[in-house]
Structure 1
Amino acid sequence: MAAEQRYPGADCDVVVIGAGIAGLRCASVLQERGLAVTVWEAADAIGGRIRTDVVDGYRCDHGFQVLNPAYPELSRAVDVSSLTMQPFEAGVVLRDKERTRVWAHPLRSPGRLPRMVSSAGLGVRELWALARWAAPALRARGLTAPTHDDSLYAALERARVHGLSRRVLDQFIAGVVLDDRGMTSNAFILLLVRMFALGVPGLPADGMQALPQAIAAPIADRIELRRTVSHLRRDGSGWEVSDGHDVLRTRHVVVATDPRTAESLAGVPAPHMKGVVTDWWAADAPLPGPAMLWVDARPKPSGPLVNTSVISKAAPSYAPAGRHLVAASALLGPGSEPPSTSAMQSHAGDILGADSSRWSLITRHVIPEALPVQPPPLRVRRSLDLGDGLWVCGDHRDTASIQGALVSGRRVAEAIAVSS
């Protein structure tokens, strides 16, 4: 191959370090373009931050995650139908003082509209303020290249979004981007709002792990696990990649690891990361309400959660027959201790209006570095080419999302294919 002609004795054209979805997407596109690729992954399984534990027949993803089929890059990367998606109902349930309210997508759940209008708890002024804030989501181009961007907090203040609607937005968005201070880019939040309007998030039948497995299927024989790269060394016109035991010689190296590892291997400054803790419980009795995300919209929430949901209502494959699976998440600040399981369990039951005392904890996932920050102004295309055949990709180089990770992996692969 052309790359081997420029670098005699190379073991492959490209070494991808990291088998998260960015690295897997990069490697799959490289193979499609006819390049010889090897993927080294330090862990004992692929997927990076997207993992699913199966415990006593329950599927528990690492951190509460959902997959939005409206992400444009998703259908380019996998056959979405092969994932057997199980969608949530389009909307959110909010606990407001002594009652619950359902805010449903008016076009996807028209049957809920009359009751929602009568019981939503929103007046004309609040609806107008929400519409004023969300209107830019109709213009995708203006969001990906914003002429002006501010924090979510500043944008909501400017639009005068207050009261119940503000509390719901604050809680819902905090659970999505893991930021309860409103410091995330408003343009990025509006991009997510656009995706929620275009598609209904759900869960694959085999858990979120099914996504990296689907991306990896065409390159399974090119992936080596338990390969922790100890150093990279420039060697003439190529690179040597070593795990302390073996050495690969290659023309290109793609660092597709977590941000901190990328910083140590390639010198790319790591962004600040946001953490989350998610608890999963088994319940014997059915739980009330729709298959939606639930949030505590009271002026003073009764516990630490940003959201909870009866996962098995939307995704029956996540629980054994006749059993029910509840998940709940709380934010985890830098250096802070996670809330107690009892506090999270009590708050989840309070939000859902259910007796949680008999739920049994299945597992807990404490993830201190779950998502990179996405501050204003929004930058959706950070540099991936570090020079001399060294590249970097991941959600910290695009948008902090599955969409961003997939796009960054493809961008690197296409750039390498052009240069080879």
Structure 2
Amino acid sequence: MLEPAYEADVVIVGAGVAGLSAAHRLTTAGVTTTVLEAAPCAGGRMSTEKIDGFRLDRIGQLLSTSYPELRLTPGLDALVLRPFAPGVLLHGDGRHHRVEFPPAAGGARGALHTVRALASAPMSAPRAGALPRVRASAPLGTAVDQARLGAALTRLAAMPVERLLSRPELPAAQALAAGGVPARTIAGFLRPLLAALLCDPELLTSSRCADLALRSFASGRLCVPEGGAEVLPELLAQALPPGTVRTGVRVTSVSTSSVTTAEHGEFRCRAVLLATDARAAAGLLPGLRVPDFHPVTVVHHTTDEPPGTGAGLLLDADRGGPVAHTAVVSEVDPSRAPAGRSLVSSTVLGPPPADVDTAVRMHVSRLYGTSTARWETLAVHHTAEAVPAMRPPHDLRRPVRLMAGLYVCGDHRDTSTVQGALHSAHRAATALLTDLGAGGSMHRAERLRAAA
């Protein structure tokens, strides 16, 4: 039962997907929760701009159908995932090359070998009939290289996740080179794929994180949420009791029993969960580490004559321009564009060129093999601190319980993905419920029903 001085059992600072999913788990367990968000609306970096019937993601991180937390998070039951065409489409040596790796047997329950292991034992010759269907050419190297890569990805589900995370780690690029993966395979396939999955074009990310990214790729399909990235936080917010989320509330300080705001005074509580981005969290708790970040720029164009790549994700194996990957997103999710128009979204990783729109137009013209002169620019979204960097040594399970009454979650406490943000929220909610004791207090509605 709440004491009279408490306004909520738990105050969550930040209404991104981590904070909202933690709030849902707590309220479901009967813990009264208030979510405070400084911005005018919930969602954080998972936002979608609406222009003339188009839905334009500001960052557009790729999701995977194999992300476990998308299935395990309460409130996301109505989420619809729109998958890209199987595998990826590579642009290399002036041609398109389709690479397809069907999900391994066992699906998302499997785990991958590390990047180093991928280059050694798993690359040995496969048993007859063990290979998945692989359709590719030059970017993957010789036919033998392709066969070995296919066999490796087939066996990547065999290693337990705990063993994967306990292996020594290196920067991903260094681990690939040291492990003996053919240079052609690295340059033509693994580097552009991992760059797109990690938002890290130089592959300085921990090899453990790269392994998890490859695990998701091999176990499922790359996808986007139907209706835009904002659908995830919207579904989570809608599933909370009315009044749980309060926007436009700027938090200035936190303790284990209260949150102070600039305009709305003090909120007293039994525990506080910081679910902001890493920099904002460190501003409230100066001892927290602030990682480096990967900048991401997304350029959205529309045309009435779409390129003929269908719903494929197109990667640049040649690194011949600023675009790391591009797609006709309206072919993947028709709800993102009005009838008769196509939406082409292109992602630039790292610092963008001075005239980013012109540079992107020139590059995607070569990638798609078509003129972009008549394409209309809808928006250019640049986010300087889009994705926390995961350079080694990187703890994929950073503590979410700082002390009794004070907790933190977000993609900076796990992996820098939606899966990581949701998983960190799951861990934080579990720690909170344990400390509050057997589910905390009863939900207000349950108390009223009991009193009646």
TM norm structure 1: 0.90
1:251 equivalent to 2:254? Answer no
The answer (yes or no) to whether the contact 1:51–1:62 under 8 Å persists in 2 is yes
Counterpart of 2:307? 287
Whole-angstrom CA distance in 1 between matches of 2:211 and 2:268: 44
| Matching of residue 141 in structure 1 with residue 157 in structure 2 | no
Q: 1:41 matched to which residue of 2?
A: 37
- Corresponding position: 1:224 with 2:243: no
Indicate the residue corresponding to 2:340 in structure 1.
322
Indicate whether 1:415 and 2:435 are aligned.
no
Q: 1:105 to 1:78 in 2, by over 3 A?
A: farther
Percent of aligned pairs with the same residue? Answer: 32
Q: 2:142 aligns with which of 119, 123, 148?
A: 123
Gaps of 5+ in 1: none
The alignment partner of 1:326 has SS state of strand
Equivalent in 7, 11, 17 of residue 15 of structure 1: 11
Letter in 2 for 1:62: R
Q: In the alignment, is residue 77 of structure 1 matched against residue 95 of structure 2?
A: no
Structure 1 stretch 123-132 or stretch 144-153: which is displaced more?
123-132
Confirm or deny that 1:365 pairs with 2:381.
yes
Paired residues of 2:102 and 2:133 also in contact (CA < 8 A): no
**Higher deviation after alignment, 359-368 or 94-103:** 94-103
User: What corresponds to 1:154 in structure 2?
Assistant: 174
Measure the CA separation in 1 of the matches of 2:134 and 2:200. Answer: 31
Question: 1:63 Cα shift?
Answer: 1.4
Return the offset for 1:294: 0.8
> Kindly tell me: are residues 213 and 136 of structure 1, through their superposed partners in 2, closer, same or farther at Cα, counting changes over 3 Å?
same
Provide the secondary structure at the position in 2 that maps to 1:341: helix
Match of 1:181 in 2: 202
CA shift digits 1:293-317 (9 cap, x unpaired): 112222xx33111111111111111
What residue in structure 1 maps to residue 292 of structure 2?
272
SS in 2 for 1:25: helix
* Equivalent pair of 1:275/1:370 in contact (CA under 8 Å): yes
- State how far apart, in whole Å, the 2-side matches of 1:379 and 1:241 are: 31
Q: Return closer, same or farther for 1:138/1:355 CA change in 2, 3 Å cut-off.
A: farther
Checking the alignment, whether the CA contact within 8 Å between 1:381 and 1:397 is kept in structure 2 is: yes
Tell me, yes or no, if the aligned pair for 1:175 and 1:307 is still in contact at 8 Å.
yes
In 1, the alpha carbon distance for the partners of 2:64 and 2:140 equals 28
Change (3 A) 1:27 1:414: same
Aligned partner of 1:102 in structure 2 is 98
Do the aligned partners of residues 255 and 318 (structure 1) sit closer, same or farther apart at CA in structure 2, a change above 3 Å counting?
Answer: same
Listed as ranges, the matches of 1:161-200 within 5 Å are 161-167=181-187, 168-200=189-221
Instruction: Tell me the SS of whatever aligns to 2:215.
Output: helix
Paired residues of 1:132 and 1:159 also in contact (CA < 8 A) = no
CA contact (8 A) 2:90 2:139 kept: no
3-state SS of paired residue (2:239): helix
Hey, what does 1:391 align to over in structure 2?
407
CA distance in 2, matches of 1:206, 1:240: 34
Structure 1 residue matching 2:335: 3-state secondary structure: helix
CA distance in 1, matches of 2:134, 2:144: 19
In 2: Cα distance, 1:177 partner to 1:143 partner = 21
Instruction: Say which of 330, 341, 352 aligns to 1:312.
Output: 330
Corresponding residue SS for 2:433: helix
The counterpart of 2:53, out of the listed 34, 52, 57, is 57
Per the TM alignment, residue 114 of structure 1 is displaced from its structure 2 partner at its CA by 7.9
The verdict on how the C-alpha distance between 1:115 and 1:104 changes in structure 2, with shifts beyond 3 A counting, is: closer
Structure 1, 252-261 or 174-183: larger mean CA deviation:
174-183
Tell me which amino acid in the other structure corresponds to 2:339: A
Give the Cα–Cα distance (whole angstroms) in 1 for the partners of residues 366 and 74 of structure 2. 39
Contact in 1 for aligned 2:404/2:435 (Cα 8 Å): no
State the one-letter code of the partner of 1:274.
H
Distance 1:233 1:73, change over 3 A: closer
Helix, strand or coil: the match of 1:409?
helix
**Does the aligned pair in 2 maintain the 1:143–1:188 contact within 8 Å?**
no
Q: Look up the equivalent residue of 1:151 and give its one-letter code.
A: P
8 Å CA contact retained: 1:133, 1:156:
no
Structure 1: how far apart are the matches of 2:42 and 2:199? 24
On the 8 A contact 1:281/1:361 being kept in 2, the answer is yes
Higher mean alpha-carbon deviation, 158-167 vs 318-327, is at 158-167
Residue 132 of structure 1 and its aligned partner are, at CA, apart by 8.2
- Matched with 2:89 is 93
Shift of 1:374: 1.2
CA contact (8 A) 1:86 1:202 kept: yes
Q: CA deviation at 1:409?
A: 0.9
Equivalent residue in structure 1 for 2:350, among 326, 332, 356: 332
SS class of match (2:63): coil
The count of residues paired between Structure 1 and Structure 2 equals: 405
State the SS of the aligned residue for 2:411.
Answer: coil
Shift in Å, 1:338:
5.6
CA distance in 2, matches of 1:79, 1:33: 14
SS of the residue corresponding to residue 261 of structure 1 reads helix
